[in-house]
Amino acid sequence: MSSKPEFVEYVAEQCRGAGEITYKKMFGEYGLYCNGKIFGLVCDDQFFVKITAEVKANYPDLPEKPPYEGAKNYFLVENVDDREFLTELVTATYNALPEPKPKKPKKPKEK
Interval 36-65: pLDDT, tens: 999 999 999 999 999 999 999 999 999 999
Domain that holds residue 34: 5-96
> pLDDT of 19-31, one tens digit each?
999 999 988 899 9
Structural domain includes residue 106: no
Tell me how many domains the chain contains. Answer: 1
Residue 77 lies in a domain: yes
Taking each helix axis as running N to C, give the angle between helix 83-96 and helix 5-14, from 0 to 180 degrees, rounded to the nearest 10.
80
104 lies in a domain?
no
CATH at residue 61: 3.30.1460.30
Domain-embedded: residue 109? no
Q: pLDDT at position 4, please?
A: 92
**Which residue type occupies 71?**
A
Answer yes or no: is 37 within a domain.
Answer: yes
